[in-house]
Amino acid sequence: MAEILFFHLQSRPLEQVLPTILERALAREQKVVVEVSSQERLSAVDDHLWTYADESFLPHVTALEADAPQNPVVLTTQAHNPNAAHVRVCADGVRIPDALQDYERVVLIFD
């Protein structure tokens, strides 16, 4: 059964919280899938992860890209696990998935 973590966005927006969560998972050598509620939000998060810090970026792809299964971080708008991720991040109103057994950790980020 997956460990479920809840993160309430009280003082910082998703754009500030998500990079830290992803960096920690990558440091543990865990693959991550991030699900958001719309294609517009996905595009915004995608752009932000490439530019969130001057000294670094987070390597990632969207689920629509052909090499998504090989990437450590995949962004999606669907309830699937395209890269066999260990960690699932549900943000922007997305619910916890039914398939909890597929993950070691599920992070629900809510406002």
Whole-prediction pTM value? 0.94
**Domain parsing of the chain, residue ranges:** 3-110
Residue 1 has pLDDT above 80, yes or no: no
Phi/psi-derived region of residue 56, left when phi > 0, alpha when psi is between -120 and 50, beta in every other case: beta
33-62 pLDDT tens trace: 999 999 999 999 999 999 888 887 888 999
Rg of the chain over Cα atoms, rounded to whole angstroms, equals: 13
CATH label, 3-110, candidates 3.40.50.10110, 3.40.50.10740, 3.50.50.60, 3.10.270.10: 3.40.50.10110
Residue 80 backbone phi and psi in degrees, to 5: -130, 175
pLDDT at res. 53: 87
Query: What pLDDT is stored for residue 105 in this prediction?
Result: 96
